[in-house]
Amino acid sequence: MMLDRTSNRWRLDEGMIEALEIGSGILGTGGGGNPYVGKLRARQALREGYTMEIMPLTDLPDDAKVVSLGGIGAPLVSHERIKEGREGLRCVRALEERLGIKVDAIACEEIGGQNSMEPLITAAMAGLPVVDCDGMGRAFPEMQMTTYSIYGHRSTPSVMCDPHGNVVIFDHAISEVWHERMARACVVAQGGASTLASAPMSGEFVKQFAIPDSYTKAISLGNAVLGARKANRDPVEAVCANEGGKVVFRGKITDLKRQLAGGFVRGEAIIQGFEAYEGDEAAVHIQNEFLIFSRNGTVEVIVPDLIVILDADSGAAITTEMLRYGQRVAVLAIPCHPLLRSPEALEVVGPKGFGFKDVVFKPMSTEQEA
Amino acid sequence: MYRLGIDVGGTNTDAVVMQGRTVLAGVKASTTEDVTSGVLEAMEAAISKAGVDRAKITNVMIGTTHFTNAVIERKHINPVAAIRLGLPATACLPPMVDWPNDLREAAGGHGYLVRGGYEFDGREIAPLDLDEIDRIADDLAAKRIEAAAITSVFGPINAEMEKAARERLLRKRPDISVVLSSDIGRIGLLERESAAIMNASLLALSDRTVEAFAKALQSAGLDCPFFITQNDGTLMGAETVKKFPVLTFASGPTNSMRGAAFLTGVRDGIVVDIGGTTTDIGSLQHGFPRQAATVVDIGGVRTNFRMPDVFSIGLGGGSLVRRKSDGQVAVGPQSVGYRITKEALVFGGDTLTATDIAVASGSAQVGSADAVRSLDPALLQAAQAEIAAMLERAVERTRLSPEPVPVIAVGGGSILMPDQLGDLKVIRPENFAVANAVGAAIAQISGEVDRIFSLENGLTRDICLKQAEDEAREKAIRSGADAATIETIEREDVPLAYLPGNATRIHVKVVGEMGGYDA
């Protein structure tokens, strides 16, 4: 296969990495881990002379071999036991050796949160481009929740690497959920934060089933926030304008329930409205990410549509662990990509996939409120 | 029996003499380059104004922003060997990687990565590479580095490897000062490591400063013990401060908030401390400043200290008042700062400041009111409205509930504060200008336990909590707290998933009044 060298690829610089940190933080919808350490690693790689190239999805040849990868494990561990640095590269090389192929491009599993950075760093070290796409368009807690898996890609053989130099190949999983289950067990043995690269996809498949333009969008989202802050405009409005989303609520957090259950953070935040929302009460259901928004008891926004909570003044993204009593927040709803709204996608990433038996997904209203 | 509270700020040094719960005298002096002469001046003035016998002063409490300012101004920072135990993990991000260049250069930029560290479950990432520690010791000798900060991956869960590395380092270089990250911070490698490095870089300064305070007190004829206030508003003995100067980083805002709570008796409210250039706004919960939930930036470096959740706006007594090209009136963020007594209109200068607005509107009497009599009434009104709007926005941002909590105005610039902000009533305590020195004077003694307990062999959560609380009380009493006044202010237990033996991290903090407080 030949990649077209005269294509529309573009290079990332440090300013774009800063914007990506903000944009992917917002797209994390409360979860996905903090991209700060990843940003530092990406910046360090640029300073060491590596180049990071983004390739538009449409430039991808049909027969290209595309590997998607990302970190797996506990975000807490990844902030304490920081990676060795070449885990992703070892994954790609091991996969190439196992399959006797050459990988042509790297793809992103999850643009929301810290997994936005790993593909850039690995691709830079491998001398490969990163395709402008991802498998979620946001953050989700588990690996089978990508459009890649939902639309038929089988992730094995896959490779998981840790900082020590251990390389594990998952040769075959009978289902995507089994792959997730075995990978979780292995990551604990490896110390709680590893990197995993999945079996290659064809360019043709990726063009059809990946969420397109993820890096372009996340960087432009970050730049919109930075620009608004600089010009003293409302960053919350800037996010909405950039994403085709809308503010569904503004208010103050007045109650917060969070507990650990089965390795996931579950809970609920209650918000009392102010300004135009005075007198209203909203609730946001949390399960690692923000999953369901309801107003005065009526459900209005449902996963996989994006629910984003921002600091009402600074526009900074607030993650589930940063929520606290008294915070002044704006709640935004952003329509998810149509690939996440099909019946087969909703089986996995709709309310049912998260155990909400009584909630049926309906697309959020896109009418702007008064 | 009296106590003396001193607050050394960037611009002013304030001192108060207190007897029991009464402020006998409060004075303001200018902060001096050498710090101590300003302290002496303020102290002497306060003692003479109070008219008390200095032999009856039993305790001196000092709050200082000296160490924070050293980091912010990149002054008096000494080179540090930043030694991290964690290879092969963490290799991609060396120590100080996210520091501003000038601060990294001031601290020498000496990072060393060594094999060692722990996994989250206590396994070793690698055995500690003692030969490498020996090589580092030689390198420190060659580079004449006198301080080291040792940070192990997951050091807060197990400090043994940090201790072993320190012992090995001291074998070859017995004279250097060593800081362990596990003594300073929490999980979050880069933030904890940065705090440990900053602490090590300030050790020489803290040694000099604490000695200078001791000498100043001695030369003033005060041979009582003295204490320095830390981030949470409680006291550290002088010897502890020498070892942990970073623990004073947020004591300035903490003291002014604690002082405001004390002077008004308000336990839940919003404190607005208006200085010459900036205004700090924070919220009081049960008499203590509410703590920030996120990382705190000090001089451009991310740290994870427990700090009060205070934010600042560029409004103070010296803020410039100007009409913008679009006709709107702007106040701040530029300020004449300490030059206010020369440059403001009411002091015979030719710069229109926020203080001039307060005088012209009749809400303050300082300097010459004649100098502002001819101000354009429209400008005056617009500036007043802008100042009130800035304060109201800031207070609204800090407010925790729709309850009408009081707003307490303190600090030298609080003449700018209107009597009412929206639906909130403003309280101005007596001695409002020296609230921070009062906060220092009333600071309490704390005792803290933060450890992993194993809930096995009949030990229950309740038994372990009780044990931790007893230990914390014991610590507080040893540090000088009056046992009868001790209360528990923080108690949390966090089960650590994946760790063998039902490990639970228990954190208990108690506070009590300084012994002899009501004597």
Tell me: do A144 and A46 sit in the same domain: yes
The continuous run of DSSP H or E covering B512 comes out as strand B503-512
Tell me: do A265 and A343 sit in the same domain: yes
Share of chain B above pLDDT 70, in %: 96
Q: Does A59 have pLDDT greater than 90?
A: yes
> Which chain A residue's Cα is nearest to B99?
A40
Overall average pLDDT of the B283-293 stretch = 80
Q: Exposed, middle or buried: residue B44 (CB in 10 Å: 0-12, 13-18, 19+)?
A: middle
Residue A156 pLDDT grade (very low, low, confident, very high; cuts 50, 70, 90): very high
> Residue holding tokens 């490779």?
A159
Residue B130 pLDDT grade (very low, low, confident, very high; cuts 50, 70, 90): very high
Tell me: do A187 and A257 sit in the same domain: no
Tell me: do A26 and A169 sit in the same domain: yes
Residue pLDDT, tens place only, A290-303? 999 999 999 999 99
Domain final residue, candidates A157, A185, A214: A214
Tell me: do A139 and A15 sit in the same domain: yes
The pLDDT value recorded for residue B494 is 66
CATH of domain B1-74+203-249: 3.30.420.40
Q: Which of A141-145, B369-373, B389-393, B492-496 shows the lowest mean pLDDT across its residues?
A: B492-496
Q: Exposed, middle or buried: residue B239 (CB in 10 Å: 0-12, 13-18, 19+)?
A: exposed
Distance CA B21, CA B261 (A): 12
Tell me: do A200 and A275 sit in the same domain: no
Q: Does A258 have pLDDT greater than 80?
A: no
Overall average pLDDT of the B203-207 stretch = 93
The pLDDT value recorded for residue B305 is 76
Tell me: do A195 and A243 sit in the same domain: no
The pLDDT value recorded for residue A369 is 54
Q: How far away is chain B from the Cα of A190, in angstroms, using its nearest Cα?
A: 9
Q: Where are the beta strands (DSSP E) in chain A?
A: 10-11, 53-55, 65-73, 105-108, 130-134, 158-161, 167-170, 193-197, 201-202, 211-212, 246-261, 264-273, 281-287, 289-295, 298-302, 306-311, 328-334
The pLDDT value recorded for residue A288 is 83
More confident call, A126 vs B448: A126
More confident call, B490 vs B112: B112
Q: Do B154 and A40 touch (CB under 8 A)?
A: no
Most confident option among A229-233, B191-195, B286-290: B191-195
Q: Does B397 have pLDDT greater than 80?
A: no
pTM: 0.86
Tell me: do A158 and A124 sit in the same domain: yes
Q: Do B120 and A191 touch (CB under 8 A)?
A: yes
The pLDDT value recorded for residue A370 is 42
Overall average pLDDT of the B434-453 stretch = 86
Mean predicted lDDT score pLDDT of chain B:
88
Residue pLDDT, tens place only, B133-161? 999 999 999 999 999 999 999 998 889 99
Query: Domain ranges in chain B?
Result: 1-74+203-249, 81-201, 313-432, 444-512
Q: Does A347 have pLDDT greater than 90?
A: yes
Residue A50 pLDDT grade (very low, low, confident, very high; cuts 50, 70, 90): very high
Overall average pLDDT of the B246-272 stretch = 90
List CB contacts (< 8 A) between B301 and chain A. none
Q: Does B47 have pLDDT greater than 90?
A: yes
Tell me: do A192 and A240 sit in the same domain: no
CATH of the domain at A94: 3.40.1610.10
Q: Do B153 and A40 touch (CB under 8 A)?
A: no
The pLDDT value recorded for residue B326 is 81
Q: Which of A11-20, A150-159, B16-25 shows the lowest mean pLDDT across its residues?
A: B16-25
Tell me: do A210 and A239 sit in the same domain: no
Q: How far away is chain A from the Cα of B42, in angstroms, using its nearest Cα?
A: 39
Mean predicted lDDT score pLDDT of chain A:
91
Overall average pLDDT of the A65-74 stretch = 94
Q: Which of A145-149, A340-344, B365-369 shows the lowest mean pLDDT across its residues?
A: B365-369
Overall average pLDDT of the A51-78 stretch = 93
The pLDDT value recorded for residue A145 is 95
Tell me: do A145 and A279 sit in the same domain: no
Beta strand B12-19 with B22-30 is antiparallel
Least CB–CB distance from B188: residue in A80, A165, A326 = A80
CATH of the domain at A328: 2.40.390.10
The pLDDT value recorded for residue A1 is 45
Helices A36-47/A118-126 angle, 10° precision: 20
Residue A7 pLDDT grade (very low, low, confident, very high; cuts 50, 70, 90): low
The pLDDT value recorded for residue A262 is 57
Q: Judge whether A291 and A270 are in contact, CB under 8 Å.
A: no
Residue A167: give the domain boundaries. Answer: 10-214
Q: Is residue A370 part of a domain?
A: no
The pLDDT value recorded for residue B400 is 67
Q: Does A8 have pLDDT greater than 90?
A: no
The residues of B whose Cβ lies within 8 A of any Cβ of A are 86, 88-93, 97-98, 117, 119-121, 123, 125, 153-154, 187-190, 283, 293-294, 302, 397, 399-402, 495, 497-498
Tell me: do A270 and A320 sit in the same domain: yes
The residues of A whose Cβ lies within 8 A of any Cβ of B are 36-37, 40-41, 44, 74, 76-77, 79-86, 163-165, 188, 191-192, 252, 254, 260, 263, 272, 313, 322, 324-326, 328
Residue A202 pLDDT grade (very low, low, confident, very high; cuts 50, 70, 90): very high
Residue B433 pLDDT grade (very low, low, confident, very high; cuts 50, 70, 90): confident
Q: How far away is chain A from the Cα of B286, in angstroms, using its nearest Cα?
A: 15
Q: How far away is chain B from the Cα of A45, in angstroms, using its nearest Cα?
A: 9
The pLDDT value recorded for residue B401 is 67
The DSSP line for A284-308 is EEEESEEEEEEETTEEEEETTSEEE
Q: Judge whether A290 and A253 are in contact, CB under 8 Å.
A: no
Q: Where are the beta strands (DSSP E) in B210-357?
A: 226-229, 234-237, 269-274, 279-285, 288-289, 296-298, 301-303, 311-313, 319-323, 329-335
List CB contacts (< 8 A) between B99 and chain A. none
CB pairs under 8 A between A and B: 92
Q: Does B517 have pLDDT greater than 60?
A: no
Overall average pLDDT of the B350-375 stretch = 90
The pLDDT value recorded for residue A261 is 60
Q: Is residue A335 part of a domain?
A: yes
The pLDDT value recorded for residue B294 is 65
Distance CA B333, CA B321 (A): 9
Q: Do B92 and A41 touch (CB under 8 A)?
A: yes
Q: Does B402 have pLDDT greater than 90?
A: no
The number of folded domains in chain A is 2
